[in-house]
Structure 1
Amino acid sequence: MLLAILLPFLSFIFRGKILTGIICFLLQITILGWIPAAIWAALSLSNSRAEKRNNKLIKAIRENGN
């Protein structure tokens, strides 16, 4: 999460979203754009973690249901 706030574009690149990382970097170049880029990266990271958690729960439910 610290990486998403300090260097938002790297957060996207490390997660394999190269194009999104480049777009975020272009936004981050401006001082005013740094805050929205950091918020975007932090929310994206949070959503990604939640999606992984939900997929894991769905998989566990399907395995126990059969």
Structure 2
Amino acid sequence: MLIAILLPFLSFILRGKILTGIICLILQITILGWVPAAIWAALSLQNERAEKRNEKLIRAVRKAK
């Protein structure tokens, strides 16, 4: 999460989203764009974690049937 806030573009690149990371870097270059880029990266990271949790729960429910 710290990387997502301090270096938003790097957060995307480390997760394999190269094009999104480049777009985020362009946004991040401006001082005013830094805050939206950090928010975007943090929300994206949270969404990805939530999706993984949901997939894990769905697999567990299907396995229990």
Gaps (5+ residues) in structure 2?
Answer: none
Percent identical among aligned pairs is 80
Name the TM-score, length of structure 2 as normaliser.
0.99
Matches within 5 A, 1:1-66: 1-65=1-65
Q: Deviations over 1:5-64 (max 9, x none)?
A: 000000000000000000000000000000000000000000000000000000000001
TM-score, normalising length: structure 1: 0.98
SS in 2 for 1:13: helix
Unaligned 5+ runs, structure 1:
none
Cα RMSD (Å): 0.2
Task: Measure the CA separation in 2 of the matches of 1:22 and 1:5.
Answer: 16
Q: Distance in 2 between matches of 1:16 and 1:61?
A: 29
Aligned residues: 65
- Deviating above 4 A after TM superposition, structure 1's stretches of 4 or more consecutive aligned residues are none
SS in structure 2 opposite 1:23? helix
